[in-house]
Structure 1
Amino acid sequence: MARDVSDSTPIASKAELIGWIAEGEKPRSAFRLGTEHEKFPFYLSDRAPVPYEGRAGAGGIRHILEGMQARLGWEPIMDDGHIIGLGGPDGGGAISLEPGGQFELSGAPVENLHETAAELGQHLADVNAIAGQHGIGFVSLGHSPLWTRAQTPVMPKGRYKIMANYMPKVGTRGLDMMFRTCTVQVNLDFGSEADMVRKLRVSLALQPVATALFAASPFTEGQLNGFQSMRSEIWRDTDKARSGMLAFAFDEGMSYEAYADWALDVPMYFVKRGPIYHDVAGASFRDLLAGKLKQLPGEEATMSDWANHLSTMFPEVRLKRFLEMRGADAGPEGMLNALPAFWVGLLYDQTALDAAWDLVKGWNASERQGLRDCVPKLGLQASIAGRPLAEVAREVLALSRAGLARRTRRDAAGRDETLYLDPVMEIAERGQPLALDLADRFRTNWNGRIEPVFTEFAV
C-alpha cells in the first residue's frame, strides 16, 4: 500500500463519489500497467525478522528506507516522525511498508511489460545493495515461512494500529493477513463503464486461476501447512464485509454506482486529518458524508476520505480509478513479472478479453465461490463447471499469450511480451505450482528444514 491520498475537496453528494471513480476512464492509447510486489526482509545471519529500528549491531527497516532515499533521491513519506515510505518523482511509483515490515514496491505506471520488468530488476538491485550493508536479505513468498505472529515486528504506521485493533472483531485471520502475507498485483486501466464491468467480471471469475498458478505459500512457522496458498486461505476469514468475490458485480446493471454503494456500506477504519489518523473503525461512511459521524461531530467528508476508504476494500479485484488484481502470492522474480503479463494479455487485448468472457460467463455465483473456497488447498487440482482447473488454466494462458503477441510490444532484442509468461506456462503444463515444488523440496532435499528457502528463494 503506497501513499494515502491528500485531497481536501469537500464532497456534496454520492454522485461525486461515483464521478471520482469514473474519472479513471482513459482512451486505449493511454492504458498503462503498474505492478506492486511485497517481500519479507530477514537477517542473513540467522533468518530472524527485521524490526523497524533494527537490533543490536545491525540496522533495520528504517536504515533501508534512509539508504534508499539517499540512493534514489525520492521524497520521504513520514508518519508521526517516522519514515515509512518513499515517493518517486512526479507520482511515479513508491516504496512502502506493510504492517510486519514487508517491503513493497508500488511501480510507476508504464506502457509495457518490458518496462515493468526493468523497473523490478533495478529495484531489487537497489534494495539489495542497501539492505546488504546491514546484513539483510529478502525472500518473496505468499506467507511468512518461519516466524510466529508474536515474533513478527510491527511498523510504526498509524493506520495499521487502527486496523490491527479492529481485525480480530471481524475475522480470525486478519492479523495474519496484515503481518504474515505478501502478494504481487497489477493495476490496469479501463476505457468506459462498460469496459470496467467486462474487465471486472472476467478478472473476478479468473482470479482463482491466478491464485492456483501463482500459489507459493505452503509453509507456516517452519512446517508444511497443508495449503498451496495459505495467503489466499487467510483472506477467507479476514473481514467478509470488505473482501471476497463481489457476486453483485455479475448482476444486471452493474455500474460504478453499484460498486460505490457496496463500498459505502463497508465499515470505515479511519479518517485522516493532517498527519493524524482518527480511529473510527466500524463507523459508516454514509454518516461521514452526512456530517453525522459520532466520532468526529460536524466533520465533512472529503475526496481524500473517499479515496482512502476505497483503499481499505480488499475484494479479489478492487476498483478505484483502475482495477487491481489481488489474487496472487508473491514469488521469485520471474513470477513477479509473469503476474502482470497474465492479466495484461487477457484484459488489454479485446479479442482475448471477449474470449475470456465467453469462457466464464456461464459460471454461476455458487460455482465461482466454490472455486474460490477450494483453490487455496487444491490449487490446479480443483474444478469448475465440471472442468479440471488445470485445463481451464491452460486455456486461459493461451488466450493471454495470444493477447500479448497481438500487442507487439518489443524490447531492444526484438522479443515481444510473451516471454514473461514462460514460468507460468511451465507450471500449467506440469500442473504443479511453486507451492508443490517447495513442499517436495522440504520433504526431500531439505530434510524437513525450512532454512534453505531463505537462500534458494531470496530475491
Structure 2
Amino acid sequence: MTTRTDTSASPEIEGRADLISVFSKGEKPKDRWRIGTEHEKFVYRKEDHRAPSYDEPGGIRDLLAGLTEYGWTPVEEGGHVIALAGKDGTVSLEPAGQLELSGAPLENLHETCAETGRHLEQVKAVGDRLGLGYLGVGLWPDKTRDELPIMPKGRYAIMLRHMPRVGTMGLDMMLRTCTIQVNLDYASEADMVKKFRVGLALQPFATALFAASPFLEGKPNGFLSYRSHIWTDTDPGRTGMLPFVFEGGFGYERYADYALDVPMYFVFRDGKYIDAAGLSFRDFLDGKLSVLPGERPTIADWTDHLSTAFPEVRLKSFLEMRGADGGPWNRICALPAIWVGLLYDQGALDAAWDLVKHWTIEDHRRIRAEVPKLGLAATGPRGRDFRTLGGLVLDIAEGGLKARARFNGAGDDESGFLQPLRDIIARGKTPAEVLLDRYHGEWGGDLSKIYEAKSF
C-alpha cells in the first residue's frame, strides 16, 4: 500500500478542475513513458518460519536498519522507521510486515529486472545476518491472522478497525497477501481510457497466469488464487471490475466521481493519521467533514484518498495493474513485460482491444468470478479457455515488446521476459497447481517444504 514520503505543504482544492488535474497532469508524451514495478514478499524467521514482529531483535525494524547500509534513507512515522527511500524507489511495509519494493520509474524492462535483482540481493544479504528469509507466493500458506504481527503505521490501525465493518476478508487482504503490480503512463485521456479498458478486461488473465495462493492455514483452500478471491469480500465500496469503465463517456471525470463515492479511510495532518473511516470526501470538499469541521481538502488529501480505492485497475496520475499474486524473481520481471507489451505499443494496444472490445459486462463479471478457482481453465467469450486465449495475448505482448526495440548490452530485446509465462501456458498449469501437485506428491502433505521451494 502507498507510503507517504512527501509531507510538504499542498494547495487547497478550489474546485472540480483540481480533482481532474491529478489525472490530466499525469499525461506524458511516449518518449517519457516509464515502468514502475512493485512487488511484495513474506518475511519469516528461518529457524521456525515464524513471521517476525517489528520490535523484536532481528525483526522488521532491524531489517530496515540493515538496508540503510546500501544507501537507503529512513522514512519515519511516529518515531518508527516505516519505509526507506532511495534511487531504486521505496522499500515499505505492508500491515503484517510483508516487505515491498515500489520501484523507481524506469525506461525499459532490462532496468526493471536489474532493479529487482539489486533489491533481492540486498534483502537476502541482510536477512542472512538476521536469520530471515523471504517467501514469494500470493498468500501466507500456514499462518492464522492471530499469528501475524502488526506494523506501527497509522493508516493501518484505522484500516484494521474498519475492515470488519464492510467485509469478511479485509483483514486477510491486509495481513496475509502479497502481490506484484506495475504502474504505467498514458499520453492523453483517450489513451488512458483504452489502456484502462484493455487492462481491466485482461486483468483476470494475469490473475490466472500468476495464481500462487492455493493454501490457507496449512492446507489447500479450494482456490488457485485465494488472494484474488479475498478481494471479492474485502470492501465492495472500493473494489471490483468497475463496469462503468466500458461505458460511453468514461474518462477522468467519471473516475473522479467514482473515487468521490469511495468512503474515506483517513486524513493526514501534522504527521498523524486522523480516522475518517466511512466518511464522505464530498462532505470534505464542502468543509463538512466531522473530524475536521470547516476544513477543506488539499491536493495531497485527494491523492491519499485515491490510494484507498482498490479496483482491479487503479487510476492516479498513472495506471496501476493490480491482478497478480506474488511470485519469484522471473515472474516479477514478467508481470511488467506483459503489460508493457500490450499497452506501450499502439499496434499491440489496438490488437488487444480488438480481442476484448466485444466482451459484455456479464462476460467480465463471469470471468472475474471464475478465475480465482479455475485459473487457466476459466473460459472467455465463445468458450475459449484461458490457455488458448493466453497464447493470443502473449503473442500480442511479444509483438509489442519487439516493436519497442529496447535492447540490453547483449542485444536482447524485452520479449524474453515473457518466457516464464509462455512456460505456464505450455504446461497448462498455473503456479498454484504445480504447488498443489508437489504438496500431494513429493512433499507428502508437509507444507513446510514450501519455504525451501519458494523462497527468494
TM category, shorter: over 0.9
Residue 132 of structure 1 and its aligned partner are, at CA, apart by 1.3
Distance 2:3 2:131 in 1: 28
Show the counterpart of 1:319: 315
Question: What are the Cα deviations for residues 201-238 of structure 1, in whole angstroms up to 9, with x where unaligned?
Answer: 00000000000011010111111111100000000100
Show the counterpart of 2:82: 84
Show the counterpart of 1:455: 452
Question: What are the Cα deviations for residues 67-124 of structure 1, in whole angstroms up to 9, with x where unaligned?
Answer: 112x1222211111110001114xx510000001000000000000000000000100
- Pick closer, same or farther for the CA change 1:2–1:76 going to 2, 3 Å: farther
Distance 2:74 2:296 in 1: 29
For structure 2, the residue ranges without an aligned partner over 5 or more in a row are none
Show the counterpart of 2:35: 33
- State the SS of the aligned residue for 1:176: helix
Written as runs of structure 1 = structure 2, the 5 A alignment for 1:25-64 is 25-54=27-56, 58-64=57-63
Residue 337 of structure 1 and its aligned partner are, at CA, apart by 0.6
Residue 180 of structure 1 and its aligned partner are, at CA, apart by 0.2
- State the SS of the aligned residue for 2:146: coil
- State the SS of the aligned residue for 1:150: helix
Show the counterpart of 1:3: 3
Show the counterpart of 2:393: 396
Show the counterpart of 1:179: 175
Asked if structure 2 preserves the Cα contact closer than 8 Å seen for 1:2 and 1:95, the reply is: no
Asked if structure 2 preserves the Cα contact closer than 8 Å seen for 1:265 and 1:284, the reply is: yes
Show the counterpart of 1:17: 19
Distance 2:221 2:375 in 1: 14
AA of the residue aligned to 1:84 = I
Question: What are the Cα deviations for residues 393-414 of structure 1, in whole angstroms up to 9, with x where unaligned?
Answer: 1110110011111111111111
For structure 1, the residue ranges without an aligned partner over 5 or more in a row are none
Among 274, 277, 282, the alignment partner of 2:270 is 274
Show the counterpart of 1:246: 242
Show the counterpart of 1:294: 290
Distance 2:231 2:429 in 1: 22
Written as runs of structure 1 = structure 2, the 5 A alignment for 1:304-343 is 304-343=300-339
Distance 2:217 2:417 in 1: 32
Pairwise CA RMSD of aligned residues?
Answer: 0.9
What percentage of residue pairs aligned between the two structures are identical?
Answer: 54
TM-score w.r.t. length of structure 2: 0.98
Among 193, 213, 217, the alignment partner of 1:217 is 213
Show the counterpart of 1:100: 96
Q: Count matched residues.
A: 453
Asked if structure 2 preserves the Cα contact closer than 8 Å seen for 1:2 and 1:94, the reply is: no
Asked if structure 1 preserves the Cα contact closer than 8 Å seen for 2:2 and 2:307, the reply is: no
Distance 1:300 1:276 in 2: 17
Distance 2:178 2:365 in 1: 23
AA of the residue aligned to 1:66 = A
AA of the residue aligned to 2:86 = G
Written as runs of structure 1 = structure 2, the 5 A alignment for 1:430-445 is 430-445=427-442
Distance 2:55 2:267 in 1: 27
Residue 2 of structure 1 and its aligned partner are, at CA, apart by 3.9
Asked if structure 1 preserves the Cα contact closer than 8 Å seen for 2:33 and 2:184, the reply is: yes
2:68 corresponds to 1:66: no
Asked if structure 2 preserves the Cα contact closer than 8 Å seen for 1:31 and 1:190, the reply is: yes
Show the counterpart of 1:204: 200
Show the counterpart of 2:166: 170
Distance 1:456 1:20 in 2: 43
Q: More deviation in 386-395 or 34-43?
A: 386-395
Residue 19 of structure 1 and its aligned partner are, at CA, apart by 1.0
